[in-house]
Structure 1
Amino acid sequence: MMFAKMQCEMCGAEAKGPLKRIKIEGAELSVCNACAKYGTEVQGAPRTSAAQSVRPSGYAGASKPPAQRSRDLFDRMGGDLVEDYPDRIRDARMKLGMTQKDLALAMMERELLVKKIEKGELIPEDEVRKKLEKTLNISLLDEGSSEPTDLHHARMTTTMGDVIQIKKAKK
């Protein structure tokens, strides 16, 4: 039986000992001892090789479909996308008597993109969202969003810029 060589997911070096599971910027990686200092160790995580920890999404042994990407600050900048966007898009398309292919052609996008958005597998980017809204005459943004759209007012803590007043030097 041949064992896979354990390789650090950060530097690519072959690990001399067991890999550590660390979290860096929200991503969990199996890394060597030298790279472990760049993140925080995930407690109770099994130490595995990179080949064992990553499975393709179509893996036959997968018990659930891949998770949908979570929303972040940049997704909220222009308002919140409504949670039921796949249903709204599908209903509006069907009211107009369009197929997914017709909608894709009207938007000048690929049919696969429309299918994934309607299944909720893909969050539409701003440009695509605007095309969908225009073509289907619907709104996909939550107008009653309590999220601030101005990033300067989105802060929760006081910064140095809030405290310091810069005085112009007199000449």
Structure 2
Amino acid sequence: MQCEMCGETIRGAPKLIRVEGAELQVCAKCGKFGTEVQQPRRTDMLRPGAPRPAPGSRAPASSAPAQRKRDMFDYMEGEIVEDYAERVRNARMEKGISQKDLALQLMVRELLIKKIEKGELIPEEEVRKKLEKVLGIKLVDIVAGDDEKKAQAKITQTLGDLTIIRKAKK
């Protein structure tokens, strides 16, 4: 298991700590950066003052399906290429830019550039766009299904295309 703060492999039992409201499983070294939580927080607890179901009774099924929280991949135009790390490294080296200089141009941390180039971290949409612009590369392949959908949407006729509107003479 990896430490959720520093990324190192945890030797022994992980510590559960709370840092600014987030609960993380961390190694012994990172345990000092938060307050230790004795028991994991239960998310299924009822709100105070809400009616409690009788013991043995089943909770009513909700009529609306639970909506999935959107993540960064829902906002992406396509899929990120598998060799994104190599493309970023090669383009940066061709331009003769150091990782530190690239980080300064993009206004991100140098560690972020290092992790992207190692393939340890997939760049978020904002960082990806900046990388593409500064390095002059493409990191996203448009999914074929998306192109087909867009092409079909342009070709599909509507009711307005089929009807002929004639104005009545007055």
Common fold by TM > 0.5 = no
Ranked by relative contact order (alpha carbons within 8 Å, sequence separation 6 or more), the top structure is: 1
Give the TM-score normalised by structure 1.
0.44
Q: Which is higher, the Rg of structure 1 or of structure 2?
A: 2
Give the TM-score normalised by structure 2.
0.44
**Is the helix fraction higher in 1 or 2?**
2
